[in-house]
Structure 1
Amino acid sequence: MKITELLKRDTIILDLNSKSKAEVIDELVNKLDTAGRLSNTEEYKKAIWKRENEFSTGIGDGIAIPHAKTTAVKVPSIAFGRSKEGIDYDSLDGTNAHIFFMIAASEGAHNEHLETLSRLSSLLMNESFKEGLVNAKSKDEILNLIDNQEKVYLQAESNKSLSTEKKTEEKKLILAVTACPTGIAHTYMAADSLKNKAREMGVDIKVETNGSTGVKNRLTEDEISRAAAIIVAADKQVEMARFEGKKVIQVPVAHGIKKAEELINRGLQGDEPVYHHSGNRETPAGDKSEKIGFYKHLMSGVSNMLPFVVGGGILIAISFMFGIHANDPKDPSFNPIAKLLMDIGGGNAFALMVPVLAGFIGSSIADRPGFAPAMVGGLIAANNGAGFLGGLIAGFLGGYSVLLVKKVFSGLPESLEGIKPVLIYPLLGIFITGAVMLLFIVNPVKAINTAMQTWLGSMGTTNRVILGLILGGMMAVDMGGPINKAAFTFGIAMIDAGNYYPHAAIMAAGMVPPIGIAIATTIFKNRFTKEERDAGKTNYIMGASFITEGAIPFAAADPGRVIPSVIVGSAISGALTMMFNIGLPAPHGGIFVIPIVKGNPLLYILAILIGAFITAFMLGFLKKPLENNE
């Protein structure tokens, strides 16, 4: 059966009048009804909205495919609508939809009908086909375009089947998605680990990376349909709806690095449960605990905040190079360039840090409706002295407030669905979050911040050294994981509170693992393979840039020796910076911000080098010489 046997001229709307999602659904349902395809209009519309409430059928790339299978359909049919201006349809990628196919499947539809309806989704993967639909001048042109594209698709499928029949045994295809909060190191290391191990095992694999520059090597619909299993090694949100009905293995991103062979074998064995999407864009916790869900929400905020921290922080650091007070017009050292840098980095980029943190935590919890309330709460925290801790609270408060509002208003009539995301959720979400923040949160958190700052300021040298020791060790325990990020987050909070000493210890300790390993591969060459020695050279750069994750491949290959070595070196480095009274006003930057530390920059460098050499010598002592280090 052809698609055009289900889509006719009388169910095509070349130019929709609708301006919202609810109006689009009403207009297409009415078109099907007036064409005589429905037996009960209200029941069909109710089925459409039930599906939309589970998960938006705005699949992205300008396309929406609202659909329902119900007894309210008299004749299986498709309605087509087009909006050249575009309509906000809560699409997965956040873009407006221009092309709409409403699919009406009857309850007793036979397989041929269902296969024809599902084929439409495959055709829409073709960019030139979508462009043709947007630019078609008439209903007949649209029908001819669909017929021609369907012929090409069926011929390609036929050729693919013939090719498959010639093979005695088809290799199983394993797919994977890797993602970490920062998208700098773990994401790509996990991808490389999986690909390298699959190559060793002779397994076909494709890995999609969700890194800081966006999604690369995206999995296609065809690949997903053919995959034996899908490995999702992620510590942040990834698109999961596309894996509906597939066998999915969900693990932290670190498992992709450390347990690649185990994950691939699990995929090949085929014993994993079938995945069913919950309607939330976040990777579901599955059998993970709520603690993991909490961490993912937090890391979503931290990862989206990092560009503001890094960019703004380094601009502030450059401003300080002109003089600590060179940005102040009243100071004798005033420099207009320093003021410009400070206005951009501190007055704007850094000012957005807490609201962005809160906004993306809220978005992680409640999807897009959670963003505005949480961000407003974060701004309230930033402007009223609650600082970083207040922003964290605002993020979770905003997200869960919206979830509460969604639950309270879940029983509204279907006709009012369209006003929820544009009126009810933002109005009540912002009010609840703002009211709770101003009435109950801001003042106590401000008092906590003040007390913490007073306590840290009153610490004697011994106590501060112990704090530096602990923070330094935390930076090396999991090198970019939750313990590392907890220490880093604490350091930024202290900068926000005006105490620069903890973060100096944190950055020094974070630089030690990759630099220490790089030194070890240089001095103790007979303890490392040629491949490890080559990787060690890049660790000099990663360590100098404060990218602790450069040590991960070494830790994954030999955790018993590497992890204790880097923890000891990092902890000593953190303690030394405290002992040397070093403060760091910039949250990121590695060697580039050392010139602006508060205290002696040479002593700061010395603290880093001492920790790095301790790590290197411990590795040289613990690791045995290789018989053939080539």
Structure 2
Amino acid sequence: MEIKDLLKKELMILDLNANNKKDAIEEIATKFYDHGFVNSKEEFSEGLKAREEQGSTALGDGVAIPHSKNKTVKEPAVLFARKKDGLDYEALDGEDTFVFFAIAAPDGENNLHVETLAELSKMIMKAGFVDDLKNANTPDEVYGVIDKYSENKKEEKVVENTYTSNTPSNNDSAGENISKDFIVAVTACPNGIAHTYMAQEGLEEAARKAGVDIKVETNGSDGIKNRLTEEDIKRAKAVIITADKKVETARFDGKKVIQRPVSDGIRKADELIDRAIKGNANIFHSENKANESYEKSADDSQNLWQRVYGDVMNGISHMLPFVIGGGILLAISFLFERFMGDSSSLFTFLNGLGSDAMSFLIPILAGYIAMSIGDRPALMPGMVAGLMASRGAGFIGGLIGGFVAGYIINFIKKITRNLPKSVEGLKPMLIYPVLGLLLTGIVMYFIIDPIFTGINTAINNWLLNMSGSNRVLLGALLGAMMAIDMGGPINKAAYAFAIGVFTDTGIGSYMAAVMVGGMVPPIAIALACSLFKSKFTEKEKETKITNFILGLSFITEGAIPFAASEPQSVIPSVAIGSAIAGALVGAFNVQSPAPHGGVFVLPAMGSLNQALFFLLAVAVGSIVSALILGKLKKRPEEKLV
């Protein structure tokens, strides 16, 4: 199959109308739908968006590869689109994106089209390819560029084989290739369509420039290709893993391993190859030499704290949809209760639905913490540990229970790894679930539950009896934590604390402090863009309305691009404003009736005064932050000096 068989003329958009990422996705999905390549425009659009949430497909240098492997796709196809003046697609290098290759792949199919898409992905890495596409004015000219670089690819194939083989070429002088450093690598991305092969191309090109041999295994949607052999791994000086999903790592036990996201294989390949040549990596020690799917992080830069944080974030990220969906429905139900009474069928339905979702918080948290540690076998005992904790030990007990279940499963894997092969199939179906649940239950029932139920009760009593001044200080601290890293570990720690208190005690004052702390940064940015126009670029000022809406909805992330571009002025400004907002909430003892929602929880608050004080805290914090930012922020021209 040729690339032009997938790259359809009727799907080409030579002048994209969209001016932002969301509209670009919608326009691309509409084009696929209008020409009959997908059954549902909405479903395909959601698939593209879901892939973007895993990491931007805009790779930098003006090119993006939005893609989705989706059941709504009728047949594989590639859409070419170009935005002449570029648009912000959240590229890895922060620059605008001009050229798009949107890929639609049928779910469940691993046919020849995947190899063709892999070739296209590698082609994008070639110098000059994107620039030539920027200048193409007709579909035939786009095809001409494809033909040009396809021919170059064929010419380079002989050279490329030298760097992807684990044996020297017959044309090499005796021993010449053997004397070179040899590196092995593994690439993988969640969908296994584009980034997997672009990372392969990036690493092979970097190895070629450095004069070293490399063999790259790809874990794509069409399976594992160019699989590394035992001899390859034994001979290799170092191993590079650029992957955004789990790959087999037990085979690398005792080797120097560098593990990075797949995007680093594309954009930082030279750096990774240089580290591998110098041996700048730690020795990887596997806890499982039986090639099971569980692996300990091979990233030499990941210390214990980073691994623990990653496990907790896995639990929290899976818990958040339950928090948001259940919390907002609870808030809406309280609104119906106020106006229609608690006998209203709407109140009963919405309150029950929201409460059901909220009842999953601790089991989901614990289950996915456990799964992050011990892979799929740990999910069930982790969720049961969370359910047990929800009856007494509370949020903290559930969090600890997730770690207990995960490490118990890893312990079981270790002690059963030398069982006869005849009973190997019993592990996932019998040994892991039964023994894992039994041991986790014993630890939870006899140790975790008694200890943390007592701790939880003591903390709850302390919080219930907290005086006004202490409430103000804690509110200020929580508000500031929400703004300091806007979605990072400090932000998540504050949110987890507030959720834990809300879940265990029903106290909503700390949830309110966290909420206003997260609302202030984007609203403050929007105000500053309006009040101090000369301090912001035209592109930054265009985000005013978006940031205002995001802030009111308790979505802090709208402020992240500003904090990233000038952290020394933005972060102190919003942290001070958020701290003030949190302190005011504590002073007025404002109670949030739900764990999410921003201004959408206002109608459900206990009184009009509560709602007004909540708004006052947000307004004061945002105004203070905007004024400080206006004073500290440099003008665009000053940044260049």
TM-score by length of 1: 0.61
- 1:615 aligns to what? 625
TM-aligned CA deviation for residue 571 of structure 1: 0.6
Alignment counterpart, residue 438 of structure 2, candidates 412, 431, 435: 431
In the alignment, what sits opposite 2:326?
Answer: 312
Q: Residue deviations 1:554-580, cap 9 Å, x none?
A: 111111111110110111110111111
Q: What's the CA shift for 1:239?
A: 3.3
C-alpha distance in structure 2 between counterparts of 1:218 and 1:603, whole Å: 50
The correspondence of residues 463-474 of structure 1 with structure 2, limited to 5 A, is: 463-474=470-481
How far off is 1:597 after superposition?
2.7
> Per the alignment, in what secondary structure is the counterpart of residue 585 of structure 1?
coil
1:335 aligns with 2:344: yes
Separation in structure 2 between the aligned mates of residue 404 and residue 393 of structure 1, nearest angstrom: 16
Distance 1:540 1:244, change over 3 A: farther
- Structure 2 distance, partners of 1:325, 1:284, is 57
Question: Deviation string for 1:98-155 (max 9, x for gaps)?
Answer: xxxxxxxxxxxxxxxxxxxxxxxxxxx9734699xxxxxxxxxxxxxxxxxxxxxxxx
Which AA in structure 1 matches 2:353?
I
Equivalent residue runs for 1:85-234 within 5 Å:
127-128=110-111, 161-164=153-156, 218-221=194-197, 223-224=199-200, 227-228=203-204
CA contact (8 A) 1:515 1:543 kept: yes
Structure-2 separation of matches of 1:458 and 1:609: 29
Cα distance in structure 1, aligned partners of 2:536 and 2:250: 40
1:284 Cα deviation (Å)?
A: 3.6
1:271/1:542 Cα in 2 relative to 1: closer, same or farther (>3 Å)?
A: farther
Tell me the residue number matched to 1:551. Answer: 559
Q: Which residue of 1 aligns with 2:582?
A: 574
- Letter aligned with residue 367 of structure 1: D
Aligned equivalent of 2:516: 508
Q: Which has the larger radius of gyration?
A: 1
SS in 2 for 1:323: helix
Amino acid of the structure 1 residue aligned with 2:378: G
Q: How far is the alpha carbon of 1:502 from its aligned partner?
A: 0.4
Determine if the alignment matches structure 1 residue 523 to structure 2 residue 531.
yes
Describe how 1:9-408 pairs up with structure 2 within 5 A. Answer: 127-128=110-111, 161-164=153-156, 218-221=194-197, 223-224=199-200, 227-228=203-204, 238-241=245-248, 266=271, 280=294, 284-323=298-337, 333-346=342-355, 348-382=356-390, 384-408=391-415
Cα separation, 2, equivalents of 1:244 and 1:226: 24
Amino acid of the structure 1 residue aligned with 2:246: E
Question: Following TM superposition, by how much is the alpha carbon of 1:585 offset from its aligned partner in structure 2, in angstroms?
Answer: 2.4
> Which residue in 2 is equivalent to 1:596?
604
Q: Aligned residue for 2:462? A: 455
| Cα distance, 1:490–1:233 mapped onto 2, change above 3 Å | farther
Displacement of 1:481 after TM fit? 0.4
Equivalent residue number for residue 569 of structure 2? 561
Q: Find the residue that maps to 2:195 and give its secondary structure.
A: coil
d(CA) in 1 for partners of 2:269 and 2:199?
16
Provide the rounded CA distance (Å) in 1 between the counterparts of 2:299 and 2:256. 15
The structural deviation recorded for 1:209 is 8.2
Match of 1:25 in 2: none
> CA contact under 8 A between 1:325 and 1:334: conserved in structure 2?
no
Q: Report percent identity of matched pairs.
A: 43
Map of 1:412 onto structure 2: 419
1:542: which partner in 2? 550
Instruction: Determine if contact 2:260/2:299 at 8 Å carries over to the other structure.
Output: no
Q: CA, structure 1 residues 563+594, in 2 after alignment: closer, same or farther (shift >3 Å)? A: same
Q: Equivalents in 2 of 1:252, 1:491: separation in Å?
A: 31
| Structure 1, 607-616 or 617-626: larger mean CA deviation | 617-626
- Structure-2 change in CA distance of 1:559 and 1:264 (3 Å): farther
**How far apart, in 1, do the equivalents of 2:261 and 2:554 lie?**
23
How many aligned positions are there? 428
Taking the aligned partners of 1:494 and 1:325, their CA distance within structure 2 comes to 28
How far the C-alpha of 1:325 sits from its partner, in A, is 11
SS in 1 for 2:302: coil
C-alpha separation between the residues in 1 aligned to 2:307 and 2:511?
27
> Which amino acid is the alignment partner of residue 162 of structure 1?
K
Are the equivalent residues in 1 in contact too, given 2:257–2:298 (CA < 8 A)?
no
Counterpart check, 1:486 vs 2:478? no
Conserved 8 A contact 1:285-1:292: no
Q: Which whole-Å CA distance do the structure 1 matches of 2:541 and 2:430 have between them?
A: 59
Q: CA RMSD in A?
A: 4.0
Q: Counterparts of 1:438 and 1:325 in 2: how far apart (Å)?
A: 44
* Aligned-pair CA distance for 1:251: 6.4
Matches of 2:619 and 2:547 in 1, distance apart?
14
Q: Distance in 2 between matches of 1:611 and 1:222?
A: 45
Deviation digits for residues 513-547 of structure 1, max 9, x if unmatched? Answer: 11111111111010011122123432112212212
1:454 shift after superposition: 1.2
Question: Aligned partners of 1:243 and 1:548: how far apart in 2?
Answer: 39
Q: Deviations over 1:244-264 (max 9, x none)?
A: 9999965699x99xxx99x57
For each residue in 1:369-392, what CA deviation from the matched residue of structure 2 results, as whole angstroms up to 9, or x when unmatched? 11111111111112x222211210
Tell me if the contact between 1:495 and 1:585 (Cα under 8 Å) persists in the aligned partners.
Answer: no
Q: Please tell me whether the aligned partners of residues 315 and 345 of structure 1 are also in contact (alpha carbons under 8 angstroms).
A: yes
Does the Cα contact within 8 Å between 1:565 and 1:615 map onto a contact in 2?
Answer: yes
Question: Are the equivalent residues in 2 in contact too, given 1:208–1:218 (CA < 8 A)?
Answer: no
Alpha-carbon deviation of 1:452? 1.2
SS of 1:452's equivalent in the other structure is helix
Distance change (3 Å), C-alpha of 1:436 and 1:247:
closer
Cα deviation code 1:353-401 (max 9, x no counterpart): 111111111110001111111111111112x222211210110111011
Contact 1:238–1:282, Cα closer than 8 Å, also in 2: no
Superposed CA deviations along residues 399-429 of structure 1, whole A, max 9, x for unmatched, are 0111111122222112211111111111111
Equivalent residue for 2:40?
none
Distance 1:248 1:550 in 2: 36
Letter in 1 for 2:605: V
Q: Which runs of 5+ in 2 are unaligned?
A: 1-68, 70-107, 115-148, 164-186, 207-215, 217-239, 287-292
Does the 8 A contact of 1:468 with 1:577 survive in 2? Answer: yes
Structure 1 residue runs of 5 or longer lacking an equivalent are 1-92, 94-124, 132-156, 173-206, 327-331
The superposition leaves residues 50-77 of structure 1 with CA deviations (integer Å, 9 ceiling, x where unpaired) of: xxxxxxxxxxxxxxxxxxxxxxxxxxxx
The amino acid across from 1:227 in the alignment is: L
Q: In the aligned structure 2, how far is the partner of 1:579 from the partner of 1:585?
A: 17
* TM superposition score normalised by structure 2: 0.60
